[in-house]
Amino acid sequence: MATRGRTRSQLNEQAQLQQFIQESQEQTIEQDAPGQPDDIGTSRKKGRRGTTKGISVQNQRRRTGKLEVVIHPRRKRVVGDNARHFKTEACVTLKQYAPLKYPYFKDIPFENKRKMWLAMKQKFDLQDNSQTKAVFFKQLNRQYRNRRHKLHSYYKDHKYDENVLNQPPEGVELSDWELLINYFESEEFRNVSDRNSENRAKLKMLHTCGTKSIAQYCYEDRDTETGVEPTRTDTLKKTHFSTKKNDWVDKESKDAYDKITRLQNPELDDNHEPMNEDEAFIEALGPEKSGRLRGCGDGLKPPSKKGQNISEEVEKENEELRKKVEEDKECMKEMSSRIEALESQANSQEAQVQAQVQAYLKNQFPAFFQSLGNAGQTHPHANV
């Protein structure tokens, strides 16, 4: 049963949001209490960033209301003008509702995740569907792992300090910090950490993305008319070439790019038949792994169908993007035509109404209009 135009579910969601606002305000008061440090560590160091509080998101919301969220159709990542604001607010939300005592994001209780969703939905225009929620929680999972990684790095840098156990980083409760240290010192974690460190040390090609995702780079450099994004080769150069230094970040990246370019261009390599982009990447960098498509960041995976070409799959997806752009254009044309028809109809109706009003007035006040006619005949040049 609707209540004053709103359904029961809408009222429940509004009540949940109000509860979240109250809890957020209480949490903010606790975080801003005197004596709390401003950054990871026991004190705020000059020149370092302080705690992320989402002030930029608050200011943007005052100007525009809920912030629009763009989800990349293929990469399943948040991109667009508000991607940075989305990540900032996700960080704030995690600190409020994601206790650090849980080793993995999947272990966090459902009620906490529900509050995270409602918190972000209040500030961003998030569609309430399974795809949007999957992208949302994947982003929070990524940032939760990143936060625990930073805390582990802090612990490694200070593990021999006498007071490290009694002086947790900013935003971390003492009880949670003790649990984290015990977990960092466990054999299970140390085995995984050592293995990851060894794999990381094998990485030879560095990138220049910083905190911006490759999906965001590709979205910004797309053709706005067709929606087609840069090729894998162009993306490789974009993310491994430093424009400030005007040079490649490392020799391995330059050699890989040169080889991939040469293998695709018969004029640069007479010893081999020209390869397509996918073949050139495999020849230069080795076979593709199942988890991600090399040079494209996470979100894109090699095709699972045997014998299917990656370029064919990407071209198919680009064709779908082109069709969507054309459909949007046709929709805009149709809307413009409807608006013009409505304007023409409104003008016609306005003229009819004016004629009817004038006929009505002449019928009701014939003497008045007769006097106007006589005045015109008496002064034939009055309107000249």
The string of pLDDT tens digits covering residues 251-294 is: 998 998 999 998 888 776 666 778 888 888 888 888 887 777 77
The answer, yes or no, to whether residue 53 has pLDDT greater than 70, is no
254 neighbors 248 (Cβ within 8 angstroms): yes
- For residue 243, what pLDDT band results from cuts at 50, 70 and 90? confident
Average pLDDT, the chain: 78
Greater confidence (344 vs 6) lies with 344
Among 257, 280, 159, 166, which Cα is nearest to 207's? 257
Tokens of 242: 């430093």
- For residue 94, what pLDDT band results from cuts at 50, 70 and 90? very high
302 neighbors 288 (Cβ within 8 angstroms): yes
Per-residue pLDDT at 15: 56
pLDDT by residue (tens digit) across 319-342?
666 776 777 777 778 877 888 888
The answer, yes or no, to whether residue 2 has pLDDT greater than 50, is no
84 neighbors 57 (Cβ within 8 angstroms): no
Q: What average pLDDT score do residues 214-237 get?
A: 87
186 neighbors 103 (Cβ within 8 angstroms): no
- For residue 24, what pLDDT band results from cuts at 50, 70 and 90? very low
Percent with pLDDT over 70 in the chain: 75
Among 215, 223, 173, which Cα is nearest to 86's? 215
The answer, yes or no, to whether residue 375 has pLDDT greater than 80, is no
Task: Find the range with the poorest average confidence among 121-125, 174-178, 236-240, 303-307.
Answer: 303-307
143 neighbors 151 (Cβ within 8 angstroms): no
The answer, yes or no, to whether residue 42 has pLDDT greater than 70, is no
Greater confidence (306 vs 240) lies with 240
* pTM higher than 0.75: no
Integer Cα distance of 149 and 362 in angstroms: 85
285 neighbors 256 (Cβ within 8 angstroms): yes
**CA angle, corner 38, sides to 36 and 43, nearest 5?**
85
Max mean pLDDT range (28-32, 55-59, 371-375): 55-59
pLDDT by residue (tens digit) across 97-155?
999 989 999 999 999 999 999 999 999 999 888 889 999 999 999 999 999 999 999 99
Per-residue pLDDT at 75: 83
Per-residue pLDDT at 302: 73
Per-residue pLDDT at 14: 52
